[in-house]
Structures are given as structure tokens and as C-alpha cells.
Amino acid sequence: MDEQSFLAVFAHPDDESFGVGGILRAYSDRGIKTALICATRGEEGEINDPSLATRETLGAVREQELRTACALMGVDDLMFLGYHDGTVAAASRVEAVGKIVHEIRRLRPQVIATFDANGGYGHTDHIAIHAFTLEAFKLAGDPSAYPEQLTAGLKPYTPQKLYYVAIQRSMVLGIRDELLKQGIDFVPGGNMATIPVEQMGTPDEDITTVVTLDDRSVDTKIAAWHAHRTQVDPKGFPETMDPEAARQWSATERFVRAIPPMGRNEPREADLFEGIPA
């Protein structure tokens, strides 16, 4: 039996800390092997503190920020796909899917998590990596897909579960409305958003899995997103939240189980590894 293994697939440094930063720490503490694929190095991101990076150095700086966050979260394996920030949707589908298939076959994770189909707020990189990961999940166990990988010694492998990170739509709208009362026009994703706020996140009723984090995992999640120092805006969300409210917001991670789909009468899960032997 393969050891328990969890793979997260995201587009930019810091996506992982907000999406699965807590369970990465929790699973590492449980002895589950954890791995992360990041499509880009976030070269086009914000530089909220000019002393930390220039536009020319930002990719290298953000890579190091991600490595620091991974060390905090206990991530065992970090791999970059090597695409430039903002161009993932233009990448060769065959190439990108093949890279993810390679990592699935190498790492043999039972569980994979990535973005949902709308990328949270419509970021085109997020949407593309969702599509690539979904296709890779389906192809990794097919011996006719990317046969050159088999020749190199990898074996076909089909993970057991695929999850999409879920940001409660009601929470997105609640935060938007609360900040509007304070005179702050909050749009998740800023200029990278391509869909209306009302369509962002995941409808509450579609959420299948709710993971409650312990204190160590919450502390780690908060520390991990602060490790992405170039991206921390002291005047933005969540830095302007009441610290206790921010902690409560961080203490739960929600998901939609995409494969296998949730049965009509199946109760909500409390762990991504439910039903998978230790």
C-alpha cells in the first residue's frame, strides 16, 4: 500500500497558504506526505513593500517566499511548472497536463486539491490550472497517456479523490458588504478578477467538506501567508480585520469533492482523507 500522500496544485506563490495552508501543516503532522505544484513564480504580483523586490527580481523573491512558507507548513516536495505569471491559460495544454501527470505518477497522491472552475474570482491562471489538474487527474492512470513517462520508469497511477478549494460565496459577499460600510470598495482579486463579485467563490450548498483546524495549524496558516511579504498589504484584506475575526476566518478550510462526486444522502466530510486507510 502506498503511504498517504496529498498534492496541492495552484498557480501562484501564496495561493496555497490561503487555500490549504492549514491542512498542509495538519497532514504533515499526521505523517502524510505533502507536495505542492506551483504553476508560476508570481512575477506580475504586487510589490507592497518596494524594499523587498523590484519588478525584475520579484519572481526570484516570491519563489523564496514560497519556500519559506512551505518550510512552515511542512511541505515535503515543491515543484514549479515554470510558466510566467498571467500566461498559464496560453500554455500548451498537452505540455502542462503532461507535467502534472508526471508529478502525480511520481508522487502517487491519494488526494489532490486545486482551484474550482471559476478560479475563485475569475483569475485566468487559476481557471487554467484547474482545467489542467482535472485532466491530469483523469489521465495519470491511463497507460496510453504520455507513454514516454512509462518508458522512463514511472507507472500509471490514479488518485482516489479530487477536491476544489471552496471560498464560501456568502462569506465573500458578507466581507464585501461589511467593508462597504467602512467606505472600502473590496473586490477579491482586484484587477485580476474577471467575474462579478456575486459569482465569486462557491455557493454554500455545494460545499461537501469542512475541515476544522487545530491551533497549531491556524498559527501556521497565518504565518505562511505572512511569509509572502511582497504580497501583504497592511491596508488590505485580511490585514485590516480584527485579529480574532481573522483567526476565526482562518480556522476552517472548505472544499468541494469533485471526484468521486458526493452522493445525494452522503454526509459532509470533515477530512479529505475520509475513507482512505492510513
Distance CA 163, CA 53 (A): 34
Rounded mean pLDDT, 256-273: 95
Give residue 162's identity as a one-letter amino acid code.
Answer: L
> In the structure, what pLDDT confidence band is assigned to residue 54 with cuts at 50, 70 and 90?
very high
Residue 227 near residue 234 (C-beta atoms within 8 A): no
Model confidence at 21: pLDDT above 80: yes
Helix, strand, or coil here: 218? helix
> In the structure, what pLDDT confidence band is assigned to residue 237 with cuts at 50, 70 and 90?
low
Model confidence at 55: pLDDT above 90: yes
By DSSP bridging, strand 5-10 and strand 161-166 are: unpaired
CATH homologous superfamily of 5-259 equals LmbE-like (3.40.50.10320)
pTM for the model: 0.95
Residues in the chain: 278
Rounded mean pLDDT, 157-181: 89
Residue 139 near residue 250 (C-beta atoms within 8 A): no
C-alpha cell at 137: 487527474
Helix, strand, or coil here: 83? strand
Residue-range domain boundaries for the chain: 5-259
Instruction: Specify the pLDDT at position 108.
Output: 98
Instruction: Specify the pLDDT at position 1.
Output: 58
Rounded mean pLDDT, 57-61: 98
The 10s digit of each residue's pLDDT in 189-207 is 878 889 988 898 999 999 9
Residue 102 near residue 183 (C-beta atoms within 8 A): no
Residue 168 near residue 202 (C-beta atoms within 8 A): yes
